[in-house]
Structure 1
């Protein structure tokens, strides 16, 4: 018995302080570079007639210069649950007058007007999103000057893949912003939920209630997401994903019953993509929202949300 205890003590002493050995992999090793390839840039066609910035939507200047007698009908895209949204009754706005976002951050817009040079009638239909004004929250005592919190994720992208494909962004993070790179960060399980549950709740999927679709008809609102904690701490919150038809919390789960954050893009993307049917086409514009690449729209709206 004494011999076994002594061997255990010796083993523990050897392991103390060593932890897990993280492999040091070369992002540009020839073994992986043979599979690396340039992807075509996303190029979006046309010109959107209407853009929203923060809570104001209006016809863009280039359209006002070439068109006259413009009338636009704005329909708010109203979130009801992760599985359902409705379009509000359209509100007509003329010329360069603005439309203020109050009920929702997102609108479907239908416009009609005449070309100034030949009087020919044209119309445009599209979607736009901004950030409506929300009631300010009172921060917790001692937290009045807390920093903004931004988590920006690229699914199915490794750290080395990020270094290879986005070298300028990596240099800004590490050299300009002096960011800390979590070289030992890893997924805790299999699939996107196994990556985001630990990050957003502090728990693994196995530690949380089993709310998968095929076993349970409930929603995931009760889980301890970080944006709930931030909201209670006085923050204005936002949670954005860009592919709602295979959403992290909707593909194997039923998603949220109530909007989880002050600003949430799910209803917008469901409407804009026709519930994901747009992505069944092989067309390049499936990566676009009107005249804007989808990734740019996400970054633009995130920038507005932080202000």
Structure 2
């Protein structure tokens, strides 16, 4: 009797499972997969008479009590004393700090390259044991183990710089306009390039704070806002609106010129999804024009192209900081939460960007970096 009841229970459970899958495919699946229908609905909404009114920019107060009651001061990230790190890198050269040599005596270090395997895993290169400076060639990142025969003390951690050996990119004649404001198209671009009084290339730096409005930026970072507007004479796009709800929905159009719906499917949970390599990222265009490229985010577990997308199959840019952040948790007793060694994650990203600027002096660079840590956790 018990066996019959058990078989009956199994059959009911199997039937309910099949029914759940069928209902999902019938009512949820088509809504997710029919991208063309979504685009059509959006296009109809744009052309609707409801959207033909005058565009009035709202004048929102900065210090409204209803908003300010949700703002509060936060403690700084505590990562320890940066002077406790034995090794640092400048450009492509990693070395024991002079103050460490002065207190520890002769120090011998083993440097192991940390290289990208995938967007979710890193791998180790060969190890080099030396007391001389180490030159980064295979990777921008190294795991370092040091020992002082004089004091008997040891240290291990991570270091980063900008490696040598990145191939010089060939400059190609512009086929797609890369400069704004040239209505004449390719002919005007070529004329600009041939003008000896016009700079041939400009370095480009895009610095983004995820999930932060203009007013919130002014409230939480008033000194930065003042420096941008008053010192750098930055242009504030007061009428800019995001074109989607979410980081990828807002960032993808900025980097590709297309909405996510107009591009191939890359979401992990969807069948036949592709890697994000298929996106026409703007850094590809810059690379084609001879630029060195870099794309960096400081929280890998919520990365723009890896949280719900499949990530990149190949390393997307020349200098890719994600590899360092992936390896940091493996240095469990040297990296506390939100820190790499004795530096906060966002400071590491800023230092890495500065290194790119210092190292690449005879060529142009295009850098994009987005900080998620400060916004999602502290702002």
TM-score (normalizing by structure 1):
0.85
Can you give the 5+ residue segments of structure 1 that lack an aligned partner in the other structure?
Answer: 1-10
Quote the RMSD (CA, aligned, Å).
2.3
1:121-155 per-residue CA deviation (whole Å, 9 max, x = no partner) reads: 22111111111132332434518621111111111
Can you give the 5+ residue segments of structure 2 that lack an aligned partner in the other structure?
Answer: 1-47, 174-192, 359-379
The aligned counterpart of 2:237 is 182
Structure 1 stretch 289-298 or stretch 171-180: which is displaced more?
289-298
Matched, 1:25 2:56: no
Structure 1 stretch 259-268 or stretch 144-153: which is displaced more?
144-153
The structure 1 residue matched to 2:124, chosen from 83, 87, 109, is 87
SS at match of 1:173: helix
| Counterparts in 2 of 1:193 and 1:274: CA distance versus 1, 3 Å | farther
Matched, 1:268 2:324: yes
The aligned counterpart of 2:186 is none
Q: Give the number of the structure whose alpha-carbon radius of gyration is greater.
A: 2
Deviation at 1:267, TM superposition (A): 1.4
Are the counterparts in 2 of residues 148 and 306 from structure 1 also a CA contact under 8 Å?
no
The structure 1 residue matched to 2:90, chosen from 34, 46, 53, is 53
Moved over 6 A (4+): none
Distance 2:261 2:56 in 1: 25
Matched, 1:106 2:141: yes
The aligned counterpart of 1:67 is 104
1:64-112 per-residue CA deviation (whole Å, 9 max, x = no partner) reads: 1111231111111111221332111211121xx2100100111111111
Distance 2:298 2:347 in 1: 11
Whichever structure has more helix as a proportion of its residues is 2
SS at match of 2:94: strand
SS at match of 1:238: strand
Deviation at 1:31, TM superposition (A): 1.6
Matches within 5 A, 1:138-157: 138-140=170-172, 142=193, 145-157=200-212
Are the counterparts in 2 of residues 200 and 225 from structure 1 also a CA contact under 8 Å?
yes
Matched, 1:125 2:180: no
The aligned counterpart of 2:304 is 248
Distance 2:61 2:130 in 1: 57
The aligned counterpart of 1:5 is none
Distance 1:80 1:217 in 2: 20
Deviation at 1:15, TM superposition (A): 4.8
Are the counterparts in 2 of residues 78 and 267 from structure 1 also a CA contact under 8 Å?
yes
TM-score (normalizing by structure 2):
0.70
Deviation at 1:26, TM superposition (A): 1.5
Distance 1:24 1:147 in 2: 34
The aligned counterpart of 1:160 is 215
Are the counterparts in 2 of residues 51 and 59 from structure 1 also a CA contact under 8 Å?
yes
The aligned counterpart of 1:191 is 246
SS at match of 2:316: coil
Structure 1 stretch 139-148 or stretch 122-131: which is displaced more?
139-148
The structure 2 residue matched to 1:304, chosen from 332, 347, 355, is 355
Deviation at 1:206, TM superposition (A): 0.9
SS at match of 1:108: strand
Aligned length: 282
The aligned counterpart of 1:221 is 277
Are the counterparts in 1 of residues 114 and 323 from structure 2 also a CA contact under 8 Å?
yes
SS at match of 2:206: coil
SS at match of 2:169: coil
